[in-house]
């Protein structure tokens, strides 16, 4: 008789209720006592069904029929797996027909007026070479218009345009003319278009704030927290910190631009890891609606890069702040820790990713010269080019990329219960760490699994105690974001 072992799932507990997260379907199931006992029975070692049944019957808590039913159901959903049955890898389905483009990220400049020590655009981790003159410092109005036409050709009925840099506002001139052109052309072809941008906030003038307000821009501001943390890495070329310059400008923007929430994006490093203090400052002192944190992308030999211990510390800090999110959610209060919101949103929608993000299909980056790339972080890199805004997407290159990066080809990920939300992780992180986008980011699996487990627990508690809170994640399509 074949032995049964824990299957392709992750068991967890939330608020006294047992659950399993099923990797093949990305479903979260509440399990009853008998199923929980069956799962416990195989937690340490594989056992036969007869052995499990005898064990559970001897305790006198469960009837034979219930145990058999539970065994059959757990095998069916693959929470239990027969030892002699190989784990099936996720099915590989690569779309042959073009996937509509949802978000185009326009790198309107590759120049910046700050020189943040950890920035991937500069220093030794840089991918894109601008010295040979192939990538102009600023995108021209012509290229921006061609990019608009490209987006409107490739998108479905709703198009999202994100402006990025370098420092995006160094090319405010092109931003203004492009938005006017895009609105007119979108109306002519019967599509909707909306705009967002990422900025370091140094160039937020009254004119810029009026413009962002008028055109209902989604704004994300790169900011690392209170003065001592912001000024550690986010400095001007002469070395002066940027906090005093940006803080009043951001407050002015938040005061005036009320139609869309303004968010902060924090880059965490080994030396600036103080999540709660950063969060409190950015929400209470500055007034951001949401704050998202991302560990720095850097080669492991950089002094600010995270090693194993660093990721564990990030997880500890995240878990601490996530408790506040849960408390707020149970009382229907807003909490702006966006990392939790994004992950529980994916869990609630049953997201099961074949690729880690939309890069290369739903999201594309455009370089200052008009080259189309996987995403904004690869824009201008010849090795990651998928066409141009003039000539369109190179479908053969796009298909080859999606085929080569499907989660079913990542051996370690095939067996990992967190693959529905991770699928191997960011290509840019992998390229920086390993020199290739093909490798899964195995250096941070513990962190990803630990964080997903935390979010599953939060999700489980909300689902039991305040399920109405989860309605906000239903029927909403979030366009892929530039990160």
**Residue 266: CB minimum distance to ligand SF4, A:** 15
β pairing state of 290-295 and 371-373: unpaired
262 — phi, psi (to 5°)?
A: -100, 130
For residue 146, the SS3 value is helix
Give the C-alpha separation, 205 to 256, whole Å. Answer: 12
Q: What single-letter DSSP state applies at residue 442?
A: G
Q: Which is nearer to ligand SF4, 232 or 419 (CB)?
A: 419
**Residue 377: CB minimum distance to ligand SF4, A:** 4
**Residue 267: CB minimum distance to ligand SF4, A:** 12
Q: Which is nearer to ligand SF4, 67 or 373 (CB)?
A: 373
Structure token digits, residue 29: 């199931």
Q: What is the DSSP string of 26-89?
A: TEEEEE-HHHHHHHHHTSSS-EEHHHHHHHHHHTTSS-HHHHHHHHHHHHHTTSEEETTSPPPP
Q: Which is nearer to ligand SF4, 208 or 423 (CB)?
A: 423
Give the C-alpha separation, 279 to 283, whole Å. Answer: 6
Q: How many CA atoms within 13 Å lie on the side-chain side of 319? A: 16
Q: Which is nearer to ligand SF4, 176 or 385 (CB)?
A: 385
209: left (phi over 0), alpha (psi -120 to 50) or beta: alpha
Q: How far is CA 155 from the centre of its chain?
A: 21
- E strand map for 133-227: 155-164, 192-199, 218-222
**Residue 376: CB minimum distance to ligand SF4, A:** 7
**Residue 359: CB minimum distance to ligand SF4, A:** 4
Residue 101 near ligand SF4 by CB under 6 A: no
- Window 452-471: contact mask with ligand SF4 (x via CB under 6 A): --------------------
8 A C-beta contact, residue 441 and residue 433: yes
**Residue 450: CB minimum distance to ligand SF4, A:** 10
- Residues 341-400 close enough to bind ligand SF4 by CB under 6 A: 357, 359, 363, 375, 377
**Residue 400: CB minimum distance to ligand SF4, A:** 17
- Residues 391-420 close enough to bind ligand SF4 by CB under 6 A: 410, 412-413, 416, 418-419
Q: Which is nearer to ligand SF4, 219 or 418 (CB)?
A: 418
Q: How far is CA 154 from the centre of its chain?
A: 23
Structure token digits, residue 456: 């599953």
Structure token digits, residue 94: 């690569």
Number of residues that bind ligand SF4 (CB under 6 A): 25
Structure token digits, residue 225: 């927290």
Enumerate residues 6+ apart whose C-beta is below 8 A from 483.
265, 294, 357, 426
- Window 413-452: contact mask with ligand SF4 (x via CB under 6 A): x--x-xx--xxxxxxx-----------xxx--x--xx---
Q: Which is nearer to ligand SF4, 71 or 482 (CB)?
A: 482
Q: Which is nearer to ligand SF4, 135 or 352 (CB)?
A: 352
**Residue 352: CB minimum distance to ligand SF4, A:** 12
Q: Which is nearer to ligand SF4, 178 or 483 (CB)?
A: 483
Q: Which is nearer to ligand SF4, 363 or 369 (CB)?
A: 363
Q: Which is nearer to ligand SF4, 160 or 419 (CB)?
A: 419
**Residue 481: CB minimum distance to ligand SF4, A:** 8
**Residue 43: CB minimum distance to ligand SF4, A:** 20
Interface positions with ligand SF4 (CB under 6 A): 357, 359, 363, 375, 377, 410, 412-413, 416, 418-419, 422-428, 440-442, 445, 448-449, 483
């Amino acid at each position: 008789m074949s032995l049964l072992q824990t299957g392709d799932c992750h068991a967890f507990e939330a608020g006294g209720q047992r659950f399993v997260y099923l990797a093949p379907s990305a479903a979260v199931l509440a399990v009853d006592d008998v199923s929980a006992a069956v799962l416990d029975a195989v937690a340490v070692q594989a056992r036969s069904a007869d052995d499990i049944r005898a064990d559970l019957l001897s305790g006198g808590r469960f009837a034979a029929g219930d145990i058999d039913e539970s065994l059959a159901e757990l095998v069916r959903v693959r929470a239990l797996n027969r030892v002699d049955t190989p784990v099936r890898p996720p099915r590989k389905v690569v779309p042959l027909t073009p996937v509509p483009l949802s978000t185009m990220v326009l790198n309107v400049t590759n120049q910046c007026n700050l020189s943040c020590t950890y920035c991937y655009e500069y220093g030794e981790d840089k991918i894109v070479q601008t010295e040979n003159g192939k990538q102009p410092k600023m995108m021209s109005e012509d290229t921006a218009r061609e990019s608009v036409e490209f987006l409107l050709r490739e998108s479905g009925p709703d198009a999202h345009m994100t402006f990025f840099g370098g420092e995006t506002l160094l090319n405010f001139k092109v931003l203004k003319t492009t938005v006017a052109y895009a609105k007119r052309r979108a109306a002519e072809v019967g599509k909707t278009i909306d705009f967002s941008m990422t900025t370091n906030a140094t160039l937020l003038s009254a004119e810029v704030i009026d413009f962002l307000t008028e055109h209902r821009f989604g704004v994300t501001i790169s900011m690392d927290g209170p003065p001592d943390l912001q000024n550690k890495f986010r400095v001007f070329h002469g070395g002066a910190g940027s906090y005093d310059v940006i803080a009043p400008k951001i407050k002015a923007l938040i005061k005036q631009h009320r139609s869309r929430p303004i968010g902060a994006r924090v880059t965490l490093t080994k030396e600036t890891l103080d999540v709660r203090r950063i969060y409190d400052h950015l929400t209470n002192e500055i007034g951001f609606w949401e704050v998202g944190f991302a560990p720095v992308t850097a080669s492991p030999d950089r002094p600010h890069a995270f090693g194993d211990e660093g990721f564990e510390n990030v997880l500890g800090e995240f878990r601490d702040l996530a408790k506040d999110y849960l408390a707020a959610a149970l009382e229907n209060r807003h909490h702006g820790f966006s990392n939790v919101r994004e992950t529980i949103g994916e869990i609630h929608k049953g997201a099961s990713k074949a690729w880690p993000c939309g890069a290369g299909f739903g999201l594309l980056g455009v370089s200052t010269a008009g080259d189309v790339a996987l995403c904004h972080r690869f824009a201008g890199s010849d090795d990651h080019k998928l066409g141009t805004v003039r000539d369109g997407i190179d479908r053969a290159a796009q298909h080859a990329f999606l085929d080569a990066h499907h989660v079913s080809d990542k051996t370690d990920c095939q067996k990992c219960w967190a693959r529905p939300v991770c699928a191997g992780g960011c290509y840019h992180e992998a390229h920086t760490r390993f020199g290739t986008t093909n490798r899964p980011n195995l250096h941070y699996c513990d962190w990803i699994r630990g964080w997903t487990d935390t979010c599953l627990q939060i999700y489980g508690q909300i689902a039991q105690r305040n399920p109405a809170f989860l309605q906000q994640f239903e029927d909403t399509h979030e366009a892929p974001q530039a990160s």
